Amino acid sequence: MSDSTNDNDTNFVAQHGQWSSRWMFIMAATGSAVGLGNIWKFPYMAGKSGGGAFVIVYLICIALIGLPVLMAEISLGRRGRQSPINAMKNLIAEAKANKFWVAIGWSGMLAGFLILSYYSVIAGWALVYIFKTALGDFAGLPADQIQGQFAALVADPFQLIIWHSVFMLMVMIVLARGVERGLEVAVRYLMPALMALLVMLLYYAVTQADFQAGVDFLFVADFSQLTFGSFISAMGHAFFTLSLGMGAIMVYGAYLPKNINIISAAVPIVVADTLVAILAGLIIFPIVFANGLEPAAGPSLIFETLPIAFGQMPGGTFWGTIFFVLLVFAAWTSAISLVEPAIAWIVEKGWSRTVSVYAVGMLTWLFGLLTVFSFNDWAFEFEFAGLVKSNGFFDAIDILTSIIMLPIGGILIAIFCGWIMPRAAIKEELALSSSRVEKWWGVSVRYVAPIGVSIVMIYLILGN
């Protein structure tokens, strides 16, 4: 590596900081990957798509799409050694490539900003439910009254703005402290706390709920339920669950020291992300089935179905409070990664870290008001992929990011890393241990990932 490259690394670390160890990077990237989708989406998809059969397909997709693209995005970040936009400019110069490829950085930064604008509002719901559950608001109530409480919450823009503001402030306080004193400190405590809460809730599910029904729902392999849609869902979730294509992993990779092997850091992230999703299923569904409830997917499972269960079961006030604390921790660790690419870019423009954080935070907060009012005063319907969407701007932003921007970003990352980036640069960054591993990564990132993610995107746009 040249002296100029070493000088660039020194300047980058002085400006931004870096992870103190491989373990801190793993925890931070896992925190970015583990979010609300792990807790309500993966378990339900598995249970409704063949249980163990779906899990097998999902693990194959993780090996052929998720892990290779994760390694590619980390490599781009560490090689470019700046915010995603400026990192891509450096990589374009090194590869003598078309300037078009800087779109990877712009798309990722914008997607993260847009996602946090609505993610913060939903995380605010979880904050409300910590207090509602702790105060016993669900204890002994019939299902219609508990569902009515959620309907009343989302219909009240004033309440939503307050809790959206509280969560955004939580995120900005962490980010303002920088990599070592902010991001590292947060994940050092939040990730172990999240795992401890998972273990506590799992103990309850094993000892007090219908644990066997949950295990059967998730793991009994029924290959007859596997459809083309199941394969698409497995491919899509293998990509989306790792926070790929939104710049977060790229900027976290930029903070990764050069002496840390990328594959040895990437594999634990994938394992931990999958483990959290499976544990969440083993917690949620035994509770749901023990109370004779329907395991519906999405926010209704978390904010309507589970509160009914917690309101009916012994110790439900305590365990329900623990669950919503877990949900907030998962959302918090994800949220702090979403606007880090934008903050890093503004810092590179010469702004101070603190000013950059609160400027981006305020803009994100303002944009989040579109989501706040999407559930009440500004609600409107539109049709997409054959489905009627009723929450206006929220649904539109979600579709734009999750169905268009993130897949395109992931496809471009795979193509750039697999076809455009110089082979010597890839070998230097990945330092793959064997020719078999190198061939697996090359085939996956050059062919399988771009084709697979393209199919997912087209399928989602056209509808099923």
- Which tens digits make up the pLDDT trace of 139-198? 989 999 999 999 999 999 999 999 999 999 999 999 999 988 899 999 999 999 999 999
Structural domain range at position 398: 3-462
User: Cα angle vertex 111, ends 107, 112, to 5°?
Assistant: 120
Q: Is 435 exposed, middle or buried (0-12, 13-18, 19+ CB in 10 A)?
A: exposed
Q: What is residue 238's three-state secondary structure?
A: helix
pLDDT tens profile 234-258: 999 998 899 999 999 999 999 999 9
Specify the pairing of strand 387-389 against strand 382-384: antiparallel
The chain-wide mean pLDDT, for the chain, equals 92
What is the Cα–Cα distance from 172 to 335, expressed in whole angstroms?
10
Q: Is the pLDDT of residue 5 over 80?
A: no
Among candidates 110, 112, 90, 107, which has minimal Cα distance to 99?
90
Q: Is the pLDDT of residue 8 over 70?
A: no
Q: What's the average model confidence in pLDDT over 200-229?
A: 90
Query: 255: which 2 tokens?
Result: 């903070």
Task: Say what the pLDDT of residue 438 is.
Answer: 92
Residue 6: pLDDT band (50, 70, 90) is low
Q: What's the average model confidence in pLDDT over 218-232?
A: 89
How many domains are contained in the chain? 1
pLDDT tens profile 118-138: 999 999 999 999 999 999 999
DSSP 102-122: GHHHHHHHHHHHHHHHHHHHH
Among candidates 70, 21, 24, which has minimal Cα distance to 274?
70
Alpha-carbon torsion, ordered 23, 28, 33, 38, to 10 deg? 80
% of residues, the chain, pLDDT over 90: 76
What is the Cα–Cα distance from 87 to 192, expressed in whole angstroms?
31
What is the Cα–Cα distance from 355 to 349, expressed in whole angstroms?
12
Residue 44: pLDDT band (50, 70, 90) is confident
Q: Is the pLDDT of residue 317 over 80?
A: yes
Q: What's the average model confidence in pLDDT over 367-396?
A: 93
Task: Say what the pLDDT of residue 387 is.
Answer: 82
- Using alpha carbons, list the distances in angstroms from residue 396 to 101, 123, 196, 464: 26, 19, 36, 18
Do 14 and 8 meet the contact criterion of CB atoms below 8 Å apart?
no
Q: What own/partner pairs with CB < 8 Å and gap ≥ 24 does 456-461 have?
A: 456/232, 456/235, 456/236, 456/239, 456/407, 457/403, 457/404, 457/407, 457/408, 457/411, 459/229, 459/232, 460/232, 460/236, 460/385, 460/403, 461/385, 461/403, 461/404
Which one-letter DSSP state was computed for residue 405? I
Task: Say what the pLDDT of residue 7 is.
Answer: 57
Q: Is the pLDDT of residue 1 over 50?
A: no
pLDDT tens profile 168-182: 999 999 999 998 889
Alpha-carbon torsion, ordered 331, 335, 337, 343, to 10 deg? -170
pLDDT tens profile 411-444: 999 999 999 999 999 999 999 878 899 999 999 9
Q: Is the pLDDT of residue 201 over 70?
A: yes
Contact partners, residue 461, CB within 8 Å, separation at least 6: 385, 403, 404
- Using alpha carbons, list the distances in angstroms from residue 244 to 66, 107, 179, 298: 8, 12, 20, 21
Question: 387 - beta bridge partners?
Answer: 384
Do 178 and 13 meet the contact criterion of CB atoms below 8 Å apart?
no
What is the Cα–Cα distance from 248 to 335, expressed in whole angstroms?
10
What is the Cα–Cα distance from 84 to 113, expressed in whole angstroms?
13
pLDDT tens profile 263-316: 999 999 999 999 999 999 999 999 989 888 888 777 788 999 899 999 988 899
% of residues, the chain, pLDDT over 70: 98
Task: Say what the pLDDT of residue 173 is.
Answer: 96
Residue 47: pLDDT band (50, 70, 90) is confident
CATH number at residue 250: 1.20.1740
